[in-house]
Chains A and B, each alone.
Chain A
Amino acid sequence: MTESIDDLLKKIESLEERLADSEQLIDAIRAGEVDAFAVNGSNHPEIYTLQSGDYAYRVLIEEIGEGAVNISEDGLIVYTNSSFTELIGIPYEKVIGRFISDFIHEDSKEKFANLFNESLHGQSKGEIILAAGENIIPVYISLTSLQPKLATVGIIVTDQTRIKLHERTILQYQRELELKNIELAQNNSELSSFTYIASHDLQEPLRKIQTFCNLINAGSNEELPATTRDYFQRILKASTRMQNLISSLLNYSRMNSRGMDFEMTDLNCVLDEATNNIRELLEESQAVITHDPLPVIPCVPMQINQLFTNLIINSIKYKAAGTAPLIQISARPAEQAEINSQEAVSDERRYWKIIFSDNGIGFEPQYADRIFELFQRLHSRFEYEGTGIGLAICKKIVQNHKGFIYADGKPGLGATFAIYLPTTR
């Protein structure tokens, strides 16, 4: 304890004074009131000027990639940096002393005048077009009045040429896309009306063939030779098959997404209705259906009914020999991870995952995509009757609902159909 408390207090007082002096100096430097200052060195005062700080600002303004222009209050250019003169392609000496309006496109003069007047009260920003000789340059400008320190307005000029070019390109793509969309919609509607009319009109002659074959079979059957009767049977069978194909195709073409009436629907009720409609088939095949509680989702009930019906009929049709079909339906909210792995998803939409799995004959996994294609069948007609449309309709219905359907299976180990349906529209 060599120093007394009084000594220490004096020392603190003197340090506080020096600190206050320094802070005052720093404030003065910040406010631009000081160009230079002296500091007492050990033997003599040392002079510091602020030229170095000022220099940095000048370099910044000169080298920055944006145009910088300083104009007087009557619009005369008193300073520009090299970025601005490069932008308009006119040398510095031919820019200084000219009016800024000499470099502004006719169409922008009024807008610039407004921005300029606005800036006299502070700041203003906007897009204008510069014109220098042949050069027409879209720019974004930011004007700042430098009053009261300087009687000028500073302008930062940002070149918009590339951005405008991109905008134009994007607009053009957009227009092309819109045209393509219209074309596509037209093609689609033509195609579906074609399918409808073709399917409908195709049924007519077919019905006649069947009617007259039926009349022959019912009427003069006994008088005809056995071979002739056989031929008529074959004609009847073939035309019945064609009728089934056409009516399935008609059904498929009706499943378009136009004019769909979505309503919040309890899928438990839809499943009940679907199983009710095919009750005879279920009893006949002794099929057992178990299901989790199903969700309520926005959908077109008729279409979901058809979806469920087709999947159940599919499982019954391809049941394993000697075993009663067992169809298990489970439902749970889909994990976000499994949704992201699906190719078609881009948004944050949530999905329900409904799984139909059976104990039927299954299929080779390599055909998992093909079974949803129109007229694609994995078995000959002699093994299993079918049109190759049922699962195509399923896929179309799910797509109409902005969902996805995937099949999975192994020969002899049953098939699984996973349906993802959005929880909201």
Chain B
Amino acid sequence: MYPGILLIDDDDDDQFIFLTALENVAPDSHCDISNNALEAFQYLHARVETPDIIFLDLNMPLMNGFEFLLILKSDPRLISVPVIIFSTSDNPEDQARAKDLGAVQFITKTADIELLKKDLRHIFSRKLVSESLIH
């Protein structure tokens, strides 16, 4: 089974960068993209299957990542989907808040795609996905 990924990010450059890194790290994975949090809920409610993992941007129009996370974690069907924050923020307060809301990891977007690849390799090798599913 290859991980089914949902990326929620309103920035098409960041989508491109993420897909480029993912292609390199896990070429067999499948990644769908939502351009914002509302679109993501439509996507999630339209399907029976839930994604294995969600990568979530924080700073988005209409509904930000924190608000999305709060609603997601109150939905019994979606509560167990691990969420990894993928944001430009390096603010410790944001990181603490994301963790409180149930995010399993926090990746800060940098200019170095190698760092992103490293994070992704780490995530998939640790089987963070399946581990979190058990909880």
A207 contacts B113, C-beta separation under 8 Å: no
What is the CA–CA distance of A211 and B19 in the complex, to the nearest angstrom?
A: 14
A215 contacts B20, C-beta separation under 8 Å: yes
Residues of A within 8 A of B13 (CB): 208, 211
Residues of B within 8 A of A243 (CB): 111
What is the CA–CA distance of A218 and B109 in the complex, to the nearest angstrom?
A: 18
What is the CA–CA distance of A215 and B113 in the complex, to the nearest angstrom?
A: 8
Residues of A within 8 A of B130 (CB): none
Given the contacts A203-B88, A204-B88, A210 and B20 also touching, CB distance less than 8 Å: no
- Chain A 199-229 against B: per-residue CB contact (8 Å), 1 yes, 0 no? 0100110111011001100100000000000
Determine which residue in A200, A203, A207 has the highest number of CB atoms from chain B within 10 A of its CB, and name it.
Answer: A207
Determine which residue in A208, A210, A211, A214 has the highest number of CB atoms from chain B within 10 A of its CB, and name it.
Answer: A211
Residues of A within 8 A of B111 (CB): 206-207, 210-211, 214, 243
Residues of A within 8 A of B114 (CB): 214, 218
A207 contacts B88, C-beta separation under 8 Å: yes
What is the CA–CA distance of A57 and B110 in the complex, to the nearest angstrom?
A: 93
- Chain B 17-32 against A: per-residue CB contact (8 Å), 1 yes, 0 no? 1001000000000000
B110 contacts A207, C-beta separation under 8 Å: yes
Determine which residue in B13, B109, B111 has the highest number of CB atoms from chain A within 10 A of its CB, and name it.
Answer: B111
Determine which residue in A206, A208, A243 has the highest number of CB atoms from chain B within 10 A of its CB, and name it.
Answer: A208
Residues of B within 8 A of A200 (CB): 88
What is the CA–CA distance of A208 and B114 in the complex, to the nearest angstrom?
A: 14
Task: State how many residues of chain B have any CB contact under 8 Å with chain A.
Answer: 11
Residues of B within 8 A of A203 (CB): 88
Residues of A within 8 A of B75 (CB): none
Q: Which residue of A lies closest to B111 (CB)?
A: A210
- Rounded to whole Å, the gap between the CB of A306 and the closest CB of chain B is 15
Does B112 lie at the interface of the complex (its beta carbon under 8 Å from any beta carbon of A)?
yes
B113 contacts A214, C-beta separation under 8 Å: yes
Residues of B within 8 A of A215 (CB): 20, 113
- Rounded to whole Å, the gap between the CB of B45 and the closest CB of chain A is 30
- Chain B 99-135 against A: per-residue CB contact (8 Å), 1 yes, 0 no? 0000000000111111000000000000000000000
Those of B40-55 within 8 Å (CB) of chain A: none
- Rounded to whole Å, the gap between the CB of A239 and the closest CB of chain B is 8
What is the CA–CA distance of A215 and B111 in the complex, to the nearest angstrom?
A: 10
What is the CA–CA distance of A211 and B112 in the complex, to the nearest angstrom?
A: 6
- Chain A 371-403 against B: per-residue CB contact (8 Å), 1 yes, 0 no? 000000000000000000000000000000000
Residues of A within 8 A of B112 (CB): 210-211, 214
Residues of B within 8 A of A206 (CB): 111
Those of A221-260 within 8 Å (CB) of chain B: 243
A211 contacts B88, C-beta separation under 8 Å: no
Residues of B within 8 A of A211 (CB): 13, 17, 111-113
What is the CA–CA distance of A413 and B71 in the complex, to the nearest angstrom?
A: 63
Residues of A within 8 A of B11 (CB): 204
Residues of B within 8 A of A218 (CB): 113-114
What is the CA–CA distance of A218 and B110 in the complex, to the nearest angstrom?
A: 16
What is the CA–CA distance of A206 and B88 in the complex, to the nearest angstrom?
A: 12
What is the CA–CA distance of A202 and B20 in the complex, to the nearest angstrom?
A: 24
Residues of A within 8 A of B113 (CB): 211, 214-215, 218
- Rounded to whole Å, the gap between the CB of A240 and the closest CB of chain B is 8
What is the CA–CA distance of A243 and B109 in the complex, to the nearest angstrom?
A: 14
User: Which A residues lie at the B interface, using CB under 8 A?
Assistant: 200, 203-204, 206-208, 210-211, 214-215, 218, 243
New A-B contacts (13) at CB < 8 Å, excluding given A206-B111, A215-B20, A243-B111: A200-B88, A203-B88, A207-B109, A207-B111, A208-B13, A210-B111, A211-B17, A211-B111, A211-B112, A214-B111, A214-B113, A214-B114, A215-B113
Please name 14 pairs of A and B residues whose Cβ atoms are closer than 8 Å in the assembled complex, sorted by A.
Answer: A203-B88, A204-B11, A207-B88, A207-B109, A207-B111, A208-B13, A210-B111, A211-B13, A211-B17, A211-B112, A211-B113, A214-B114, A218-B113, A243-B111
Closest 10 CB pairs of A and B: A210-B111, A207-B111, A211-B111, A208-B13, A211-B17, A211-B113, A214-B112, A215-B113, A214-B111, A214-B113
